[in-house]
Amino acid sequence: QQQQQQQRAAHGTPPMAPKPTGSAATQVQQPTSSPRVPSTPKPQQQSQSPTTQATKTQAKAATTTSSAASATAPSVPSAAKPNVQRPTQPSNPLRRQLSAPQLVKSQPQRSRTNQPAIPSRSSKPLPNTGRLTPALAQMRTISFQAMFSSTKTVTGLRNLGNSCYMNSVLQCIAHTVPLTTYFVQGRFRSELNRTNALGCKGELAEEYSQLVNTLMSRQYRHITPRFFKDIAGKYCEDFAGTQQQDCQEFANFLLDGLHEDLNRIQTKPITGALDIDHMSDAEGARLSWEQHKLRNDSIIVDLFQGQFRSTTTCRTCGYKSTNFSPFTFLSLPVPPNGRTTLDACLEQFSQRELMTGDNKWNCPHCKCKRDAVKDMAIYRLPPCLIIQLKRFYFQGPFRDKINTKVTYPTTKLDMSRHAKGTQRSINNYSLYGVANHYGTLTGGHYTAYCRAAETGRWSYCDDSTVREASASEVVSPAAYLLFYTSFDFSRLLSSRL
């Protein structure tokens, strides 16, 4: 050993530590293993001298001898490892997503105190508020983009891309006082029918209630009915885009959708055909209306639906068949040229129709097709009567718009000569809304005239623009839908306020 140490000293190599023997060997601590560090390629060294190579050979032999001595030594219990302080991990480390190569921050762990409480099974669930939640109400208020007015005024509706057909109808129906009061007072909530397969799960009625409440507050110059149009397009694709549509078709969709959403009949019974040919008109009409109400009972039926009587008579055997059916719109023919009156259009509606040629009637008594005569009449009048002037005609490849001016009264419309039932005493209908169409069949624009029940004054609603109008300008060749009522709206409004 002494010779090896002298040789190592002569060559500049550190001296070897003396080998522990006896009891001293038990006090030697085993060296702790250091973490492996990946080796890096070393630069190629120059050739070494023979003296340096001999020195390395001797050092390698000494190391081998020391290792052998350690292997023959008795086992030594390992001493306590030194307390090595490891680096702490950051509270929000980065991790790699499995589905994407980018790095994302991991979410911090939530404490148990922040977890939502588990609801008690003994408590009843909260009622389904549908589209009347506070969060949705806030979003709706923002979407209205309401423009405030310093005075009470009729609120306009912004055009959302050829949506004038919708705006004109909404203005007229919103001025139907009994229906608007029903929504403003919240009475519709107790009659919402969300399970009706023919309805809109109550969503159309809820959106209409929010819209009409804002309209009738009279504190905005105009609002944007975006939420309402989205719901209309959700349940009818025709109204989802920005294509021009017919305002009568939209009015039919709206009233029918509100009816089904507010239908008081939760489970509709199955009804069969009534045999009323041998009954009186009064008895047949009563039974037919009662059967209709078994499946359809809502405020829309109460206000807007009437009843037609249709009688078909065989010209061979004289057999007569009578049928009673409900209606929401009274569609009247308009002559293509000149001027006419609403009374003349009602007379033309009640004219007899000859069923012959390809349109022969299948007579139940003759058991074959026969020439027949058909009579159509109004038997039951609704409190709110909507008249459609049929200005668009389609005849084969030809289609066009009829611009004939129809003169109609704004007050005291007498319907007694045209109603054949027990309601012939109703002879005082007042006009409260008109939906106008300007343009041609392929393109045009819709506006509305509306009469406020509070003041009795007329307003002209052209989307977001609203101005006062005189009663004389309400009657024009552009009139398409006429909204009449037998109620005194002003008295009805004051009694319910």
Tokens of 343: 């009374």
Check if the beta carbon of residue 32 is closer than 8 Å to that of residue 82.
yes
Task: Give the span between the Cα atoms of 179 and 493, in whole angstroms.
Answer: 11
* Secondary-structure percent of the chain, ordered helix, strand, coil, rounded to 5: 30, 25, 45
For residues 119-145, give the mean pLDDT: 60
The pLDDT assigned to 32 comes to 43
Between 309 and 77, residue with greater pLDDT: 309
Q: Is 247 a catalytic residue?
A: no
pLDDT at 315: 96
Cβ(421)–Cβ(380) below 8 Å: yes
Write out the two tokens for 69.
């001595």
In the predicted structure, residue 115 carries a pLDDT above the cut 90: no
- Find the farthest-apart pair of alpha carbons in the chain and give their distance in angstroms, rounded: 147
In terms of residues, how long is the chain?
497
* Mean pLDDT of all residues belonging to the chain: 80
CA gap 164, 295 in Å, rounded: 33
Cα distance between residue 462 and residue 88, in whole Å: 69
Say how many Å lie between the first and final Cα of the chain, rounded: 118
Contact call for residues 166 and 475 (beta carbons, < 8 A): no
- As a whole number of angstroms, the distance between CA 329 and CA 480 comes to 12
Q: Which residue has the higher pLDDT, 23 or 258?
A: 258
Name, of 73-87, 161-175, 213-227, the range with top average pLDDT. 161-175
pLDDT digits (tens, 9 = 90+) for 133-177: 777 776 777 777 777 887 888 999 999 999 999 999 999 999 999
- At how many degrees (to 10) do helices 2-10 and 50-72 cross? 140
Rounded-to-integer distance, Cα 330 and Cα 305, Å = 10
> What's the pLDDT tens digit per position in 246-270?
999 999 999 999 999 999 999 999 9
CA–CA gap between residue 200 and residue 257 (Å, rounded)? 7
Sign of the C-alpha dihedral computed for residues 236, 239, 244 and 248 taken in this order: positive
Catalytic-labelled residue, pool 11, 164, 172, 292: 164
The letter for the amino acid at 300 is I
Residue with tokens 């819209």: 211
The whole-number pLDDT of residue 423 equals 60
3-class SS of residue 259:
helix
Of 144, 419, 425, residue with least CA distance to 281: 419
Q: Does the annotation count 164 as an active-site position? A: yes
Structure confidence by residue, pLDDT tens digits, 430-454: 999 999 999 988 889 999 999 999 8
Mean pLDDT of 77-101: 42
Residue 112 has pLDDT above 50, yes or no: no
Q: Which residue has the tokens 């609120």?
A: 155
Q: Which amino acid is at 15?
A: P
143 contacts 224 by C-beta, under 8 angstroms: yes
With H, G, I as helix, E, B as strand and everything else as coil, classify residue 22: helix
Q: Work out the angle between the directed axes of helices 489-496 and 177-184 (0-180°, nearest 10).
A: 20
- Core vs surface per residue 178-214: b (16+ CB within 10 A) or e: bbbbbbbeeebbebbbeebeebbbbbbbbbbbbbbeb
Residue 435 three-state SS: strand
Out of 11, 292, 365, 445, pick the active-site residue: 445
The amino acid present at 57, given as its one-letter code, is T
Query: Looking at the predicted structure, is the pLDDT value of residue 34 above 50?
Result: no
Does pLDDT of 318 surpass 80?
A: yes
- Give SS3 for 98: coil
Q: At what angle do helices 203-215 and 134-144 cross, to 10 degrees?
A: 50
Which pLDDT band, with edges at 50, 70 and 90, does 6 fall under? low
Taking residue 341's Cβ as centre, other Cβ atoms within 10 Å add up to 13
Task: Give the DSSP H/E element, type plus range, for residue 344.
Answer: helix 342-349
Q: What is the pLDDT at residue 157?
A: 96
Tell me how far apart the alpha carbons of residues 111 and 418 are, in angstroms, rounded to a whole number. 76
DSSP 266-281: SSPPP------TTS-H
**Is the pTM here over 0.85, yes or no?**
no
Residue 420's pLDDT band (boundaries 50, 70, 90)? Answer: confident
Inform me whether the pLDDT recorded for 10 exceeds 60. no
